[in-house]
Structure 1
Amino acid sequence: MGGFLSELGKKLAERWLSLLVLPGALYLAVAATAHTLGHTHPFDLPHLTQQITTWANHPATSTAGGQVVLLAATLAAAAAAGLAAQALGSLTEWLCLAADWHTWPLPLRQFASRQTTRRRGRWTRAARIWHHRREQDARTRAQGQRADPAARHAAERAMTRIAPEEPSRPTWSGDRLNAVAVRLERDHHLDLTTLWPHVWLILPEETRTQITFARQNLTRATTLTAWALLYLPLTAWWWPAALITTTLTLTGWARTRTATETYALLLEATARLHTRDLADRLGLNPTGRPTTLTPETGDSLGLNLSGPFTPETGDALTHHLTPTPPPPPTG
């Protein structure tokens, strides 16, 4: 037990150091540089070195006690900056995914509504072009000729750059995650919100680890954007901080889109692969036939050869997993 607690404490210390202290210490170093150099001489390294030497020779830091206090204060300030970035990252993620934008405060809600309407109009025009290209290629193949897919693929990319399905949220990342629920409902009549907690409980450990890692990557990406927001005020002292802010913003934006795409793919693939297992466990086999059994022992092989997962089974599974509403109040 002692070894387990020791290892747990070591891992927690490593995470505290890597997620909070080190990024926070870098932020403090840049802030000190910005305050020391200013706009006039933004790259005056000799002046920065001289100032650091002056701080190091200060009487308060010449004693062991002063050095301990300085180190503790630096670690605390770095951790505080890291915690601020984590909190701001949660807010950034909330805005980026925009799952509940209909409940946002009025100014934000109005902006999100206009943004969603604008994106829906762009997507509709792109989707019409894509469907037109598909119909043209289908007619060409029906005539026995080979259709060049380049134009169709280009039209599809133009559409998915806006959203993979008809936009219902103000951001691409929000629509990318929502597309998983839209597709499962359209193809299998499954409610992802109702289905997912039950699917999660029957997933293999390796699959859970991959999904958790993908979700953590999304959180880290939005936190990187939050760090860009923290660096932004430093531009009032030191204009090179604007370069850091821009770099972090672009990197965070790209990583957020990549992490969202990966997370959405894993969610959809997992739901499609394991929903049949959940239906079998609940006795909702797609055609009502049991899974294949071994002739010697009668144990299940875990194979369901009864046919594809039908929308009717999806309706039955969603109905089975949906809690019943509370009864009307008496009196």
Structure 2
Amino acid sequence: MTDLIATVGKKITERWLAAILLPGLLYVAVIGWAVLAGQRHALDLPWLANRLTGLWQQHTSSPGTAVVAIATLLAAAGLAGVAATAAAEDGVHRLWTIRGPQRWLDIRRRKTEARWQGREPQPPRRYLPERATAIGERFRLIGTRIEAQYGLSVTAAWPRIWILTDNDARTLIGTAHRRYYTDTALAAWGLLYLPWTIRWWPAVVIAIAALAVGYRRALASSAVLATLIEATVDAHTTGLAKTLGVDLPEGRLTPEEGNRINNILIKRA
């Protein structure tokens, strides 16, 4: 048990360092650079080195002062990391999954319809884009496709299906979920750098790069996460019906039985 706790603690520490502290230290370093250099000395490294040397000699005359400075730096880095994590979950993810302007949706729908030309049978109209980004559309289509196939509400069914899954499936989904939010956090860091472009113009390069790379990586990780969630539902519909006592005359879940399960799950029957 002691070894297990130590192993878990090590993994948590490594994850905290990689996801929060190290990016936070980089952020604090860049912001310090921006505050000291400004636009005038934006990329003047010799000037910055001399300025930092002077500040260090001025404010670290005693070991206690140095310890306080390092502790303050680590605290600021940790707070920045927490802010980026919160922005990823409550800001960036929501921006990627919003409905978006109607004109933009119309453009995306026309492009999708053009790709569907010649396909038989034609996909249902409900599969046309309804979200502003491809990431948001992937997550929306999880529920849309499952409802079309099984008549099942993913929102109501997912907590029960999660209970029915084994540890291997949970591990796969958990890893994919963390990967997606790591990529989302990278884009969130880009948003945190944007305000500093007023003080230090290179911040705009960092912000755009973080946003672009974060979005590109999230395109891939969201596809993996969405596929795993949908596959898990596909694999456990029969088990869910059996658990709830719903008979499957055709040996598989159909929209009729799916609606019966919905009624049970939301306590309508």
How far has the Cα of 1:130 moved from its partner?
4.1
Identify if the C-alpha distance between structure 1 residues 96 and 120 changes in structure 2 by more than 3 Å, giving closer, same or farther: closer
CA distance in 1, matches of 2:48, 2:104: 48
Aligned residue runs from structure 1 range 1-16, under 5 A: 3-16=3-16
1:48 aligned onto 2:35:
no
Identify if the C-alpha distance between structure 1 residues 55 and 128 changes in structure 2 by more than 3 Å, giving closer, same or farther: closer
Q: Which residue of 2 aligns with 1:279?
A: 241
SS at match of 1:190: coil
SS at match of 1:167: coil
* Superposition CA RMSD, Å: 2.7
How far has the Cα of 1:76 moved from its partner?
0.8
CA distance in 1, matches of 2:130, 2:93: 17
Residue of 250, 255, 267 corresponding to 2:212:
250
CA distance in 2, matches of 1:95, 1:76: 29
Letter in 2 for 1:225: A
Identity %: 35
Greater per-residue helix proportion: 2
How far has the Cα of 1:7 moved from its partner?
4.3
Deviates more, 1:231-240 or 1:277-286: 277-286
Q: Deviations over 1:238-286 (max 9, x none)?
A: 2222111111010111122222211111111111111112223333342
Residue of 104, 107, 114 corresponding to 1:129:
114
Residue of 237, 240, 264 corresponding to 1:320:
264
Identify if the C-alpha distance between structure 1 residues 47 and 218 changes in structure 2 by more than 3 Å, giving closer, same or farther: same
1:167 aligned onto 2:129:
yes
Q: Which residue of 2 aligns with 1:214?
A: 176
Letter in 1 for 2:253: F
Given that residues 152 and 259 in structure 2 are in contact (C-alpha distance below 8 angstroms), is that contact kept between their aligned partners in structure 1? Answer: yes
Identify if the C-alpha distance between structure 1 residues 132 and 167 changes in structure 2 by more than 3 Å, giving closer, same or farther: closer
Identify if the C-alpha distance between structure 1 residues 262 and 4 changes in structure 2 by more than 3 Å, giving closer, same or farther: closer
Q: Deviations over 1:26-84 (max 9, x none)?
A: 111111222333323333222122122212222x3132211111111111111111122
Aligned residue runs from structure 1 range 233-312, under 5 A: 233-287=195-249, 307-312=251-256
Higher relative contact order (CA 8 A, sep 6+): 2
Instruction: Give the TM-score normalised by the residue count of structure 1.
Output: 0.72
Show structure 2 runs of 5+ residues with no match. none
Given that residues 105 and 131 in structure 2 are in contact (C-alpha distance below 8 angstroms), is that contact kept between their aligned partners in structure 1? Answer: no
CA distance in 2, matches of 1:9, 1:41: 43
Aligned residue runs from structure 1 range 87-102, under 5 A: 87-90=86-89, 91-98=91-98
Given that residues 19 and 182 in structure 2 are in contact (C-alpha distance below 8 angstroms), is that contact kept between their aligned partners in structure 1? Answer: no
